[in-house]
Amino acid sequence: MRFKLPFNNRVTVRAFERVKTVDPQYDIVDVGIEYATGRIDSIAVGGSFSTLKGWCSADDEGTSKDSKGDTPTTKD
């Protein structure tokens, strides 16, 4: 996410901006400041975040099943 500070067109704040990587297993994000000249001062944090991804994908799968109308059937 990027946003500009009020009354300052020279600085853009970068908050958890995704950094491109070669290895898709790892996600790297940075927090910092980007100047109008293109220079960036930031701190990057990375990891695989597999547990978080698992939690998020489980929610997505549960939601997609409900949206399709798949409901469990019972035998009488």
Query: 12-42, pLDDT tens digit by residue?
Result: 999 988 888 888 888 898 999 999 999 999 9
Q: What is the pLDDT of residue 33?
A: 94
Cβ contact 66:60 at 8 Å: no
Task: Name the percent of the chain lying above pLDDT 90.
Answer: 29
Q: What is the pTM of this model?
A: 0.54
Q: Token digits for 24? A: 């898709």
Categorize the per-residue pLDDT at 65 as very low, low, confident or very high, splitting at 50, 70 and 90.
Answer: very low
- Count other Cβ atoms within 10 Å, centred on residue 13: 15
